[in-house]
Chain A
């Protein structure tokens, strides 16, 4: 199973996700050698909430999406 996972990672989907998530979200992963109280991005988790605040405050939007599950296993980006 591990070999198949590794192969899948090489072919790109994990790579792309990790690149996207890791690059933007690196400050979010205390489990990955980050202090518990390290500064983190404060994310709106719904479009409705984020858009409402952006319009109210006239702030630009740092927008991203990612699935908090991998191959159906939850709890991981």
Chain B
């Protein structure tokens, strides 16, 4: 299915982190009571307006197995004449909304993160041109990182190990996320003069060697509650069952 996904633009939004995105999710799927749920799934036309499969909370509304899903996706891709060039020619990085949200996603996926930092828009573009070919055309790197960019020093406040003056820094930061995605450790740092080879070598080394914490779902949640971790999403949760469970588990009335 990963192979089939290469012919698609794969969009996975963090539920409850943007009102505009929530409005879009609502246009895709609502439950019987008209509420947006924690998860949404559909395959959509390139303009995002037409559903090409049933929509629901997950792909099981349309497909019975991953192999059936891959086969179905291949058929859809053929109708759009997707070729190899368009499938690997993405012109931008798949940034998260912010470093904060990117770290959380990175931790949840148990993959490292790349942060582009510069206060200068033109220099950010130079950094992007270093990363884009690796992110989309290099099989060893596609899908292996979460991406975010920042232009203000305060956006990097959850990262440790940054070298240099943030006022003048222009860097690609390779980051290992913390267990709860609320902090990150910079493993490597490159400026706009770095070579393709050096950057690739560091990314590949990170994929192989960064610390990946296996997570037991219940254990992670229990520990997080004990530690007082309480992620505040951008917009209120609307999934009634999840909201009620959160109140029960945290002792809220």
Q: Are A and B co-members of a single complex?
A: yes
* Most chain B beta-carbon contacts within 10 A, residue among A6, A17, A70: A70
Instruction: Verify if B13 is at the interface (C-beta below 8 Å from A).
Output: yes
B146 A45 Cβ-Cβ under 8 A: yes
Does B14 count as interface, using CB distance less than 8 angstroms? yes
The answer to whether the Cβ of B87 comes within 8 Å of any Cβ in the partner chain is yes
- Interface residue tally for chain A (C-beta within 8 Å): 67
Chain B residue numbers with a CB within 8 Å of A26 are 66
B95 CB contacts on chain A under 8 angstroms: 45-46, 49
Q: Which residues of B contact A66 (CB under 8 A)?
A: 12, 14-15, 38-39
Select one of B6, B25, B178, B250 contacting A71, CB under 8 A.
B250
A residues in contact with B81, CB < 8 Å: 58
- Known contacts A71-B245, A74-B224; A61 and B208 CB within 8 A of each other: no
A68 to B95, CA, bound (A): 16
Contacts known (A30-B110, A30-B212, A60-B77); A54 close to B217, Cβ less than 8 A: no
Q: Which residues of A contact B86 (CB under 8 A)?
A: 57-59
Max chain B Cβ within 10 angstroms of own Cβ: one of A9, A41, A42, A53? A42
Partner of A6 from the list B9, B69, B87, B218 (CB cut-off 8 Å) is B218
Residues of A within 8 A of B (CB): 1-2, 4-6, 8-9, 11-14, 16-21, 23-32, 36-37, 39-47, 49-77
Sample of 20 A–B contacts (CB below 8 Å): A5-B218, A8-B245, A9-B218, A13-B241, A21-B39, A23-B60, A28-B109, A37-B140, A39-B3, A43-B94, A44-B94, A46-B97, A54-B48, A58-B82, A59-B77, A61-B44, A63-B28, A63-B42, A66-B38, A75-B177
13 additional contacts, CB 8 Å, given A23-B59, A68-B101?
A: A6-B218, A20-B57, A31-B213, A39-B139, A42-B135, A43-B94, A45-B14, A45-B94, A45-B95, A47-B20, A67-B39, A74-B108, A76-B220
